Each structure stands twice: as C-alpha cells, then as structure tokens.
Chains A and B, each alone.
Chain A
C-alpha cells in the first residue's frame, strides 16, 4: 500500500478483478447446473416411485411420448407427474420465501414456518374444516383460500408488530415468534372443540400432503412463483446490501422500509400459495437457504435462485422418501421433511463456516 501512496492515482487494472468476478460467476453457475441435473434425476425417480413399479426408463419413455403402454402413460401423466411437479414448485416457493425471510430479517433461523406464517395458514385451513358446513362454498375451495388469506394475515401481523419499532429485524422476528405461538394456541383450541371427523381432517392437513396435486393446482402455484421471481431479481442488489445491516444499506441508498414491505408481500404470496394446496411443510424454507448459502454465498443474484432450486430438490427427494420408507404406504410429506430435515439441519449448522452468520 505504501508504494501505491507514492504513485499517481491507481489506474484501473480490471482484468484481475474481472477475471475473479468471472470465475466466481462460473463456479456458481456450475453449482446451479449440478443442482438442476439433480432436480431432473430426482423428478424422474419421484415419478417412477410408487405402488405400481415403473423403471426410470419407463418414465423417460412416457415423458418422451414413446411409452407404448397406456397404463404407464396413465400412471405417469395423470397420477404421478402432477404430484412430482407440485413437489418441485412448492419446494421452490418455500425455499425462496425462506431465503427472503433470512435476508430481510438478517437471521439464519427465519422462515415462514418458524415465524408463524405457516401456522397462520394452518389455522385458516382448520377454521374452514371446523365450521365447514356453515360456508356457502365447497370446502375443497374454501380450505386453500382461507389458508392463503391467513398466511397473508400472519405476514401483515408480523410486519405490523415490527412497525412499532421502525420495522427493525429484531422486532419483526419477535413479532413472528409471538404470532407463531398465537396461531398454534388458536389451532389447539380449534382441535379441542372440533368433532372427531374434523379433528382427523385437521391433523391430516397439518401433516402436509402432495397427493391431492392436480395440473390446475400446479398451474396456480407456478404462476405465483413466476410472477414473484422477476420482482425479487430486480431487488437482488438491494437485498444483498441489506445483508450488511440496515444503516449501511440506507447509506448505500436503499429504502429499507419499502424493500422489507415489498418482500413481506412476496413471502406472503409464495408461502400462502404453497401451503394452501399441500398443507404445512416445515424445514424446507429453513434448510434450503442454508444449503444455498454454503454453496453460492449471499450475493442474492445467485442465492435466491439457488434457494429455490435446492428447496425444489429437497422436497422432491422427500417425496421419494415418503413413498419408500414404509412399504405399501405413503407417509405424509410434512412428517418426512421434519424427520429428515432436523438431522440434516443440525449437520448443516455444525459444518457451516463461522464467517457466514
């Protein structure tokens, strides 16, 4: 540095930094490519797995329109493919919403599941199940709509509590935890007063299940996901700046309050639509961003897509596990993600570089 002091102002020497920037970008692109290939393999295996045995080759032939057997096409296209695709898009939505939460709250424990948004959706769904007979619309529509609305309500509640202290990350996290306990208590109350049939329905909904997936539901979730991604990517640098703390981000010209508000709206939409159709699925939103962070860092241009990608991959793998752990039975996906997610999460946190959080 001292030599530099004696020299005239440093001339740009961009090839070194440009080369480094290019190398970092290429390495991250390779991670995303490897994850995508894993995703395709997992999708094929997920479709192949189930009560009726299909080989991955059968699945690939059917997907390519060359199955030869109608029964194989029927199983692949009508039954298993919507479920496998819904696992991907729900996993992506949960991974993405977890990544946003962890970034805007600067907290590695933040996710829709740990901060009450999923619990809010669960309460909304349970409310419909308990008072279902009194509603003018069929329960099949009312449950996802109310789950979606209550996810939004929970998000709004967290933000409103956070607002009391300038929407600081600490206050927002405390607000989220308060709402988590509130919705869990309300849910317990509903379970207490529910009829045995309603109680069974609530419990099953809360387990989370991909088995009711349809092409229509897939389209809705995909639509929300596709709408949210460009909004997020437009804010990628601003979100990266937020990782350096509120004051520094403001100093760099970020309107922190509006950015958080925008992001909360997106989290609400992503979590709401994911949970509405498949029930509460834990740990994906918490774990996927940690995997992404370890592999690509927190430059949000890579971190957000990687979180979505690994969320999709994790839920797809969990879907395969849910059909194979108990022969002849499909274990609810929410149980699998939690059972597999906990040890995986512990391993991740233990092995994660101290420098990251």
Chain B
C-alpha cells in the first residue's frame, strides 16, 4: 500500500507539532522515522493512524479512506489489566471478534505468538510480564490484525539488544513477505540504518531529511538535528554506522 503524506499539519491547542510535512512510503518498505525528543515523530504516526486531527492530506493507495487493516503499536506499554497475553493479542483482531471467538482468529493469534516466541506466555497476565515482554505482546497485537499498514512507535525501546535485533528482523521479514508498508519510530540510529529502506528525519515538526539511510545519516545531519558530534562509517553492505562522540556545544 502506498502511503502519501502531503503538507501534513498537526496542532495540539496552541502548539504546532507538525508543520507542512511531505512523505511517502510504499509496500514492502520500512520507513524509519527519526528525530530528537518532542520533534513530532509520534504525532506523525498518530496522524497517519487517524488518531489525532490534522490538516493536509494522507492518502492510502491514492484514497483518503483509511484501510481497515491497520496495525498500530503506541509507545506506552504500561497497561495493567487482568488480561492474559492471549486475550491481549486477540484484541488486535477486534473488528472481527464475536462473543464466541472463531477458529480463524485463534489460528492467526497462534501464528503471531509463535512468530514472536511468546507461546509460553499465552496464559500469563499482562501485569506479570516485564516491560520488554509487554512490548513484544503489543507488537504481536499489532501483527495479529494481519495489517497492510503497520505503524510501530518505538517498538524496541524496552528490549535488550538481542530482542531488538530479533524484533526488527521479524518486522523486516514480514514487511517483505506480506508486502506491508511499515512506519517505525526509532531512537537507535544504527538500527534504523540497518533495517530501514528509507529514513525520515524530523526536527521541530518539519522534515529535515528524507531518503535512503546512507544518504540521510551523516555527520552533518547528526550535528544539525541532534546536536551530536559523531563519526559515521559505511559498513560493508553500504549502510552507515554511527559512533556518537559527544554532545555539541550550542
């Protein structure tokens, strides 16, 4: 699915958080959204998900109507509820669930739990899980929707490095295999460089840079947008590798 964003603007009261932003992402593609804290990354994803009022246009395969199958994983993972992992993941298929849960829904949940290695946690209550485990459960919930458009807001922030790699590998593989359009907000520049097809860097609600990781992630951008002195080397696969050195003096 082709997602095209044109002149997007989001305002919370008197605060303009996104102002005149143009972006696009296509099927089978991961678009990583980068930027400093408070730059408008989450608001961008929420606007695409239809969760905040906005101006400008967002089209899905050329149409303004959002597709039914959207997988959205918000940043917050602090939910405390007496719900099992199985019930939580089933909620990803909310629009299709009846009082009696069908076999197709259980099969879809089974597949995604297997995919993320969560099978053994299926009967556990959410509140009994660690933050990282909850993050995986909510990723499973987003995937259980069998989405065509997948939006993940900091999906690896609570995970150890092994799980970060594994989760992004899975997202990458599903994006390619199922031709998903995936928007993922990340703070880890190297993960973005490694797994994304395109990178959008946002600063103060405006698009600072947009393009392939190797074209966008460079020392000048890091200094200008993040205020960081860093060395950027290209790895064997041509993707940039960032070593932060120090915060720049303003």
Contacts and interface: CB of A to CB of B under 8 A. Distances in A.
Q: Are A and B co-members of a single complex?
A: yes
Interface of A: 1-2, 4-5, 9-14, 16-18, 20-21, 24, 233, 236-238, 240-241, 243-245, 247-248, 250-254, 293, 297-299, 301, 353-357
Contacts of B170: 1, 5
Nearest to A15: B110
Given A236-B99, A355-B126, A241 B110 contact: no
Interface string B107-128: 1111111111101001101111
B164 interface: no
Contacts of B106: 14, 17-18, 21
Interface centre among A12, A16, A353 (most CB of B within 10 A): A12
Nearest to A243: B81
A301 B98 CA distance: 10
A253 B101 CA distance: 18
Given A21-B86, A245-B79, A297-B84, A14 B107 contact: yes
A5 B163 CA distance: 12
A139 B88 CA distance: 50
A14 B110 contact: yes
A13 B91 contact: no
A238 B49 CA distance: 18
Nearest to B142: A251
B150 to A, nearest CB: 12
Given A12-B108, A237-B97, A253-B95, A245 B166 contact: no
3 residue pairs, one from A and one from B, having the closest CB atoms:
A355-B127, A1-B117, A12-B107
B125 A1 contact: no
A354 B51 contact: no
A353 B74 CA distance: 26
A301 B113 contact: no
12 contacts: A4-B114, A17-B106, A21-B101, A243-B83, A244-B79, A245-B78, A248-B74, A251-B51, A299-B84, A301-B99, A353-B82, A356-B125
B94 A252 contact: yes
B63 interface: no
B177 interface: yes
A354 B82 CA distance: 10
